[in-house]
C-alpha cells in the first residue's frame, strides 16, 4: 500500500491559498506542481486537470475536492494539498463550495494501486475529525502533519 506521506510533501501542502474560481484554483495547483517538479509542464498539468473536471466534478461533498488525472511524463504518483482562504464553487455533488483540495496526479499507465490511492484519500477526507484538523492547520507543515497522523492511525487500526 502506498503511504500518502510518500507522495505529498510539506512544500506541496499550502494553507490560505487564494480561491477565486474553480479554474483559478486548478491553475494554482498546476503552477505549484510545476514549481516543485520542474520536469512537469504546468500547462499540461492544468489542461489534464481541466479535462478530468469536464468528465464530472471531483468535488465530492463536505467542502472537499480531489482533483486527479493521468499525466504524460509523470513517473510516480504526486500529490498536493491546498486549503483555500475562501471556498469556491466546484460543482460538488452536495452543492457546497470547496475549501480543501487533495490533488492526485498519476502516470499515464495508471494501475489499480492508483485507484487504491484515490480511495485512501477519499476515506481519509470522509472523516470529520481529519477535515476539522485540516481546516485548523495554520501552516504547510501542520497541514502535512494532519495527513501523516491520519495515515498512521489507519495503519494502527
Domain ranges in the chain are 4-156
Catalytic hit among 12, 22, 68, 83: 68
Pick the closest to residue 14 from 148, 149, 122, 137 (CA basis).
Answer: 137
Question: Per DSSP, what are the bridge partners of residue 103?
Answer: 80
- Residue 142 has which C-alpha cell? 501542520
Give Cα separations from 103 to 45, 64, 89 (angstroms). 11, 11, 17
Distance CA 85, CA 17 (A): 6
pTM of the model: 0.94
Check if 68 is active-site: yes
Give Cα separations from 93 to 36, 51, 111, 131, 150 (angstroms). 31, 18, 26, 17, 25
Residues of the chain with pLDDT under 50: none
Tell me what pLDDT residue 54 has: 95
CA angle 34, 140, 84 (to 5 degrees): 75
The architecture in CATH of the region 4-156 reads 3-Layer(aba) Sandwich (3.40)
Question: Per DSSP, what are the bridge partners of residue 102?
Answer: 81
Distance of CA 118 to the CA centre of its chain: 10
Distance CA 34, CA 11 (A): 12
Amino acid at each position: 500500500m502506498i503511504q500518502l506521506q510518500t507522495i505529498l510533501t510539506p512544500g506541496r501542502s499550502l494553507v490560505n491559498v487564494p480561491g477565486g474560481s474553480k479554474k483559478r484554483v486548478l491553475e494554482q495547483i498546476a503552477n505549484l506542481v510545476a514549481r516543485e517538479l520542474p520536469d512537469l509542464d504546468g500547462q499540461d498539468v492544468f489542461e489534464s486537470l481541466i479535462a478530468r473536471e469536464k468528465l464530472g466534478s471531483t468535488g465530492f461533498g463536505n467542502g472537499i475536492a480531489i482533483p486527479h488525472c493521468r499525466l504524460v511524463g509523470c513517473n510516480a504518483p504526486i500529490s498536493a494539498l491546498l486549503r483555500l482562504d475562501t471556498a469556491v464553487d466546484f460543482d460538488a455533488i452536495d452543492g457546497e463550495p470547496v475549501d480543501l483540495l487533495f490533488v492526485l496526479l498519476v502516470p499515464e499507465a495508471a494501475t489499480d494501486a492508483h485507484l487504491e490511492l484515490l480511495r485512501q484519500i477519499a476515506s481519509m477526507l470522509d472523516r470529520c475529525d481529519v477535515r476539522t484538523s485540516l481546516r485548523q492547520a495554520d501552516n504547510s507543515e501542520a497541514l502535512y502533519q494532519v495527513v501523516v497522523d491520519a495515515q498512521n492511525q489507519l495503519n494502527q487500526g
